[in-house]
Each structure stands twice: as structure tokens, then as C-alpha cells.
Structure 1
Amino acid sequence: MELLEDAIWAPTHQLRQPWRFVFVSPEKKADFAKKVAATYPEERQQNREEYLNEPNALLVVIMEKGENEKQYDENFGATASMIQNFWLLAWEKQLGVVWKTNPHIYDERVENLLDVSENEKIVGFLHLGFF
């Protein structure tokens, strides 16, 4: 939470702060990974489940799309800046972060799993772990 509180100081147009987060804790990760992996073809599910279980935890970043193309671009830029802030702050504390944009972030079933609304987009999964 401390990292997010500092990371959200990223520049945003009109102070929209167009993001929200879903934290997948170590205790909930296995179940979450199984559900996300189920969105892949059967022959890839085991690989994807193992892949999503590798990090210690996951932070899913979701942004508001905005009312028009300009707001979408501004919101995406702000969200990317916030992710970079989070990444740099985490690395200072020896917490590894990797921003992943695997195919499942575009899958409607994953959006439903995360309660992503019509005016939102999954920007990525941040894989979190220790060096």
C-alpha cells in the first residue's frame, strides 16, 4: 500500500487518477492462476497456470478508458507513468516488478473475473517478487 500511495503521484490530466488495482495475494494466487489459465486452450493451461504462480504476488492494473480518444491516451499515459513510479519505488526496496501484457489481459473472461467495466481496460499484470 505504501508503494501505491507514493506511485499514484504520477502526472495525470485534470487529476483524474484513472486507475484501480486488484491485488492477488500469495494465498489467493493459485486459485486466481487456475481461473486465468482456464481461458487458454487446453494444451496451454498447465503452462499458463505455472507461469502465473511463479511470482510471489500479482497486482492487476486497470484503467478508465475515458470519454474519448484524447482521454484514453491521457489515461494510458498517466497509468503507465504510475506503473513506472511503482516499479522504481519497489526496486528501491528490493522488490522485483515486471509489467506483463500477456493475451489474457484482453480476454473477456478475465475481465469478468476482475469485474472490469465496459469503460475500463486491463493495462497489465504486475508480477511481484523478491530478488
Structure 2
Amino acid sequence: MIKEDINGIIRSRRSVFPAQYNDKVVSKAFIETLLENANWAPTHKLTQPWRFKILQGGAKNRLGAFLSDTYTDITSNDDFSPFKHKKIINNCNAASAIIAICMQRDPKERIPEWEEVASTAMAVQNMWLTCAANDIGCYWSTPKLIQYMDGFFDFEEGERCLGFFYLGNYNPEYLGESKRDRIESKVEWLE
């Protein structure tokens, strides 16, 4: 790989939402590569806190039903949005696969929890960059509903869900340009 390639991959990374996915399946081989790349994220004291649960086929439908039912149960009539309820189900149906992003807290608590959350996020960034390099759409969603995921998954002690990573193939014309403020507005040089 040419060193400049990484710049292009980082700068072409985009959120590609489930509504933009087509029907082409993301292969199991690609998902395995994605997870292996995630596994190489930085990790203080080698706690390797990232955990992933892969949902495909009927499991995606069960997740959609669980999330939409939970949304109905916890939302007052005044706040209930039929649009949001339907979107929850549609996102699960549209994705080729959904990866539940989980974090396993170090049982010895040798490092601050935020470092393990950050390490898990870096694992997800590795996944996102792998998707960008291979023209696979992906999107990390952290809905309020993740606090109820112990009703869906069997978590180990100290494990929790940090969100969902939706995967799907897409038509490139759906992607727009992304913008960032100039880096100079975010940096202070000290000598």
C-alpha cells in the first residue's frame, strides 16, 4: 500500500444509512475480515474490550421486533412517533448484517472505563475504514434503546452494548460530499 492511500480512505469514509442499501448481500468472508481488522485496534494493557454480535437473516428481524416493541413500551403516547417506529424496523430489514458493538469492562478495572470505550470505538473505526476501502456501506447508530439490550442478548458480567453497526451494499451515486471545518480552527501550536 502506498502511504497516500490511507489519506484517501480516511477522507472518503462516510456514513451510509440503511435506507441507502441495496439487496446485494455483504459476504461472510468480508465480515470476518472486518472483524479481524477491528481486533487490531489500540488497547491499553491489552484489555481488548471490544465484543461483537453479528445479526443476519431472522436475527435481524428479531432485533427489529425487539427494538420496535421496546420503543413502544417506553414511549408515552404524546411522544410516540409512528415514523420512528417504522424506521427502526426498516433499518433492521434493509441492512445485510447488523453488528452489535459491545464492550467488555476489564474485571480488574486496571484502566479507566473511558479508555475501554475509546478502544472499542477505535475498533469500530478500523471496521469503518475497511468498509470505505471496499465500497461497503456502514453506519454506527447508538439509540437510546441500547440500554435495554440485556433483554435481547445474554451479556457476560461487565459487558454492555454501545450501539449497532449496520452493513450493506449501496449504489455509489447515493453518497454526497462531506465537509469538515479547517483543521487550523481546531489546533493550537505551543512552543
TM-score range, shorter chain: 0.7 to 0.9
- Check if 1:52 corresponds to 2:100: no
Supply the AA of the counterpart residue of 1:24. Answer: L
Contact 1:65 1:71 in 2 (8 A): no
Q: Which has the higher strand share?
A: 1
Partner residue in 2 for 1:9: 40
TM-score (norm 2): 0.61
Q: Report the secondary structure of 1:38's partner residue.
A: helix
Q: CA RMSD in A?
A: 2.0
Of 77, 81, 90 in structure 1, the residue corresponding to residue 118 of structure 2 is: 77
Greater CA drift, 34-43 or 98-107: 34-43
Partner Cα separation in structure 2 for residue 94 and residue 74 of structure 1: 30
Partner residue in 2 for 1:35: 66
Residue 23 of structure 1 and its aligned partner are, at CA, apart by 0.3
Of 126, 136, 144 in structure 2, the residue corresponding to residue 103 of structure 1 is: 144
The alignment-based identity, stated in percent, is: 30
Unmatched runs of 5 consecutive residues or more in structure 1: none
Q: How many residues align?
A: 129
4+ residue segments displaced more than 3 Å: 42-47, 66-70
Partner Cα separation in structure 2 for residue 68 and residue 12 of structure 1: 14
TM-score (norm 1): 0.86
Partner Cα separation in structure 2 for residue 32 and residue 112 of structure 1: 11
- Check if 1:127 corresponds to 2:158: no
Larger radius of gyration, structure 1 or 2?
2
